[in-house]
Structure 1
Amino acid sequence: MISIVIPIINEAKTIESLLFHLIDHATLQNISEIIVVDGGSTDGSQDIIKKLGLNINLLSSKKGRAKQMNTGAKAAKGHILYFLHADSFPPLNYDQLIIDEVKKGNSAGCFRLKFDTNHWWLCLTSWLTQFSWRACRGGDQSQFITKALFEDIGGFDETYTIYEDNILINELYKRNEFVVINEKLKTSARRYERHGIWKLQYYFCMIYIKQWFGASADDLYSYYKKNIN
């Protein structure tokens, strides 16, 4: 069974739609639980979740996606962990698609990506996510991983305030433990729209390059906070 873990901070605009989407697009017998880990929302996100009347495990954690996702993973009862951003909507039967890959012996992976925009550059970058190239990976594509493998790796590295998804993915690639499911997850282009597509793409590329050349977790966060957040 799958435990879905969703880290949130101020996601009042999307969390209700996402939770209903997850229920409507899966066979619920495959879902052990949906765990939402709040890192200190101030926009009423927690109240929205509580009022839905759904069987959602709502947890609180210190701010930081790595901390939040590790908190969710520790509480998870499922054999498979599925980490999902609050603005990313997986495809129909996502649960069975993940389970089928695990049964094949693929212990970790993600879906292809599609942005909710027709801008040619984001359509191109979405198209590239079908390939297994390391540079085409990111947290927006979601991440499934068996709990055994996740624990063997040691979970998300909490020294990283950003880029934590990629640090885990790097380790999975080193172990040759990664597969891309050939179905599309739809994610929001809201950050690109807010900052500008070319400017944000440049910043993301710089973060990738800086980490490649050995920048520390603090250096990456300083660059992110100065230019993006």
Structure 2
Amino acid sequence: MNFLPAKNINTISIVIPVLNEEKCIGTLLNYLLELRTPLVREILVIDGGSRDDTFKVAEMKGVTVISSTKGRAKQMNVGARYASGNILYFLHVDTIPPPHFDLHITNAVNYGNLAGCFRMKFDSDHWFLSRFAYFTRFNYKVCRGGDQSLFVTKELFQKLGGYNEEYIIYEDSEFAGRLYKASEFKVLPQSVVTSARKYRSNGMVNLQYHFGVIHLKNYLGAGPKELYDYYKRKIVD
């Protein structure tokens, strides 16, 4: 399979927001660097002020590490401003994309899909998590979340004004809602594998319940501060 990009072909900038992730960042970067082809123009790690060795570990891997103020929406917007690829791929530090993810993304964009994501699996075979992961195959905005990763052309991202930095949480879902209104959204058939660590620390049913409440509150008109206040009271990071 030929991965050498032709002239003017779409290329990807991977944007990874991090904060105190020294235990995860090396694993993800090793994986990305092993699979890297010329379709990936750059890997940008956006650090929100880590107090551990996240910044150092990422630098040692030879990727671009950029300091930012704390806040995932802010960090991802910073990454988008620095990105030189014409496709932005936003990836959580504890999510592993599928093999040939870069080819799947660029093919989707070449076919006119300006934004999309992958399906999702957890790094656990627990039936409860498998049931919820199953719904990520459906192309409805209520089924979207940041753990699925997100690709979007830089042109569309800029047109929509990027992530809304008022959102400390729920920034991925809020942005996905705007993408669904602005463009055809593509759910690719391959799956990312994301960590279930937050479910383990909060309890599976308990965490999913609170996520459901946050979605409901947003639907009923709650603003970013109210959503964050609920999250901080109910969910352990």
Deviations 1:49-77 (A, max 9, x none): 1223x2x1100111000000000000000
Residue 75 of structure 1: aligned partner:
82
Which of 14, 22, 33 is the equivalent residue of 2:42? 33
Structure 1 unaligned residues grouped into runs of 5+: none
Residue 54 of structure 2: aligned partner:
45
Q: What is the distance in 1 between the residues matched to 2:140 and 2:178?
A: 14
After TM superposition, list the pairs within 5 Å mapping 1:36-185 onto structure 2.
36-52=45-61, 54=62, 56-185=63-192
TM-score (norm 1): 0.97
Q: What is the distance in 2 between the residues matched to 1:182 and 1:76?
A: 26
> What is the percentage of aligned positions where both structures have the same residue?
48
**Runs of 4+ with >3 A deviation:** none
How many residues matched?
226
Say whether the 8 Å CA contact 1:10–1:41 is kept in structure 2: yes
Residue 23 of structure 1: aligned partner:
33
1:135, distance to aligned residue in structure 2 (A): 1.6
Structure 2 unaligned residues grouped into runs of 5+: 1-10
Q: What is the distance in 2 between the residues matched to 1:134 and 1:167?
A: 9
Say whether the 8 Å CA contact 1:37–1:60 is kept in structure 2: yes
Residue 3 of structure 2: aligned partner:
none
Range 142-151 or range 18-27, more displaced: 18-27
Quick one: which amino acid aligns to residue 18 of structure 1? L
Deviations 1:148-195 (A, max 9, x none): 000000000001011001111000111243110000100000000000
Residue 6 of structure 2: aligned partner:
none
Quick one: which amino acid aligns to residue 5 of structure 1? V
Say whether the 8 Å CA contact 1:3–1:31 is kept in structure 2: yes
Q: What is the distance in 1 between the residues matched to 2:87 and 2:75?
A: 17
